[in-house]
Amino acid sequence: MTGRARSPFTKAALLGVGLMLSAVGCASNAPQDTFKPKGPQAFQIFHLAVPVFIIAGVVLVLVMGLAVGIAVKFRASKDEHPDEFPAQVHGNFKAEITWTIIPLLILVGVAIPTVFTVFDLAKKPPADALTVEVYGQQWWWEYRYNFDVDNDGKVDQIITANDLVVPAGRPIALRIKSRDVIHSWWAPALNGKKDAVPGRVHPLSIEAPDPGEYIGQCTEFCGLSHAEMRIKVVAMKPAEFQAWAENQIQPFQAPTEAGAAAGFSTFASQCTSCHRITGMTDPTDSSKTFVYPKVVNQVSGEVPNLTKFMTRTMFAGGKFNLRLPTTECKALGETWASTKDGIAKCLNREALEAWLRNPPAEKAMHPGEVPSPESRGMPNFHLTEDQIDDLVAFLITLQ
Ligand code: CUA
């Protein structure tokens, strides 16, 4: 082989082995690891996938070993005449039965637990499950909750985005839908993937065992910013979840402080042809509910509802963190809490301002330099720096 160019087959094999080794070896901080299950559904998949991988691995080693061994053992020797054929064999009943029966048994052995797992994962969620409507859109996820938050006998609605907030230890019944193209919802530590298909409702059960964050992302190619359509399941202790839900349905309060009030006016004039804030009042008369203009220029018809925006941890479809890292926040002598001061200081202001300044520069919304009718997401509104400062001051009040 020395001095000869490697065949395309050899190159492909080497590349494959290299990719496999790098995939296995390099990821130390990898929250999206299907081999690190946390929720019961993910464990079910894990307990099926591992034995199947082992069986497939044993078959691979045996078959490849036999193939290589036979090729070496029966290779042509130098003193053989090149035209001489080895003895031709035809019809060996025992061999044919053996190589039919063994794979059949292996496949049946793999199929039985697979079918049971598939049916088990598709079981209806228990009656005490919390239902959340999930909407995939280019390129972010919306979550809607409809339940009686404050026990007054009436169903309350919570609309949020990016962070799926759930109570830990409680079954969650997701109803996954799409408002434009096909997406796929996947938080590997909790369950397998489920496609979001326009016109369909796909159920998916998850359960976060402990408080904490479970990371995922859209896993069906859905256009330019598909890779920036992130998922974060934020699991809270049940009492904290209840407090979160109660805060979400608190009525809107118009800001009184000058900068925030100016930002509120800018928001009403510039942002409300797309964005909504539940219960928002008219900036010119706080006794009146604001009348929203028609949603314009949106394929999906919806953009993130910004009610209680500051209770989220991410924005722009999860591309940016809304909060500074805890250590940076601590260095400022603050913690992110439901106080205006903590939020104002620990806000990832730089990223949020950059976003308001020129969204398509922060996240790809259209191919090429110039927006077109095919553009998605937030356009550049060419806001002034003062308007941006005021808008941020207003957004900080949404807590
Ligand atoms: Cu949504 Cu990929």
Full set of structural domains in the chain with CATH? 31-77+124-248 (2.60.40.420), 258-395 (1.10.760)
Give the pLDDT of the chain (399 residues) as one tens digit per residue. Answer: 444 556 677 777 777 766 765 655 556 778 888 899 999 999 999 999 999 999 999 999 999 999 999 999 988 887 777 777 778 888 889 989 998 999 999 999 999 999 999 999 999 999 999 999 999 999 999 999 999 999 999 999 999 999 999 999 999 999 999 999 999 999 999 999 999 999 999 999 999 999 999 999 999 999 999 999 999 999 999 999 999 999 999 999 999 999 999 999 999 999 998 999 999 999 998 889 998 888 776 777 789 999 999 999 999 999 999 999 888 888 887 777 756 678 888 999 999 999 999 999 999 888 776 667 677 888 889 999 999 999 999 999 998
Ligand 1 centroid to 205 CA: how many Å?
20
Query: Residue 208's closest CA among 163, 161, 253, 178?
Result: 163
Contacts of 59 (CB under 8 A, 6+ apart): 106
Ligand 1 centroid to 38 CA: how many Å?
23
pTM score: 0.86
Ligand 1 centroid to 271 CA: how many Å?
24
Q: How far apart are CA 294 and CA 15, in angstroms?
A: 53
325 alpha carbon, distance to own chain's centre: 21
- Dihedrals phi, psi of 67, to nearest 5 degrees: -60, -45
Q: How far apart are CA 177 and CA 161, in angstroms?
A: 14
Q: How far apart are CA 144 and CA 174, in angstroms?
A: 10
Q: Which amino acid is at 108?
A: V
Instruction: Tally helices (H) and strands (E) across the chain.
Output: 10, 14
- Quote the DSSP letter at residue 4: S
Ligand 1 centroid to 182 CA: how many Å?
7
Q: How far apart are CA 312 and CA 163, in angstroms?
A: 6
Collapsing DSSP to helix, strand or coil, 214 comes out as strand
- Quote the DSSP letter at residue 125: P
Q: Establish whether residue 226 lines the binding site of ligand 1, counting it when its CB lies within 6 angstroms of any ligand atom.
A: yes
Q: Establish whether residue 229 lines the binding site of ligand 1, counting it when its CB lies within 6 angstroms of any ligand atom.
A: yes
228 alpha carbon, distance to own chain's centre: 9
Contacts of 126 (CB under 8 A, 6+ apart): 171
Peptide bond connecting 244 to the previous residue in cis, omega within 30 degrees of 0: no
Q: Establish whether residue 136 lines the binding site of ligand 1, counting it when its CB lies within 6 angstroms of any ligand atom.
A: yes
Q: Establish whether residue 304 lines the binding site of ligand 1, counting it when its CB lies within 6 angstroms of any ligand atom.
A: no
Per DSSP, which regions of the chain are E strands? 130-137, 140-147, 156-161, 163-167, 172-178, 183-185, 194-196, 202-206, 212-217, 230-236, 281-282, 285-289, 314-315, 320-321
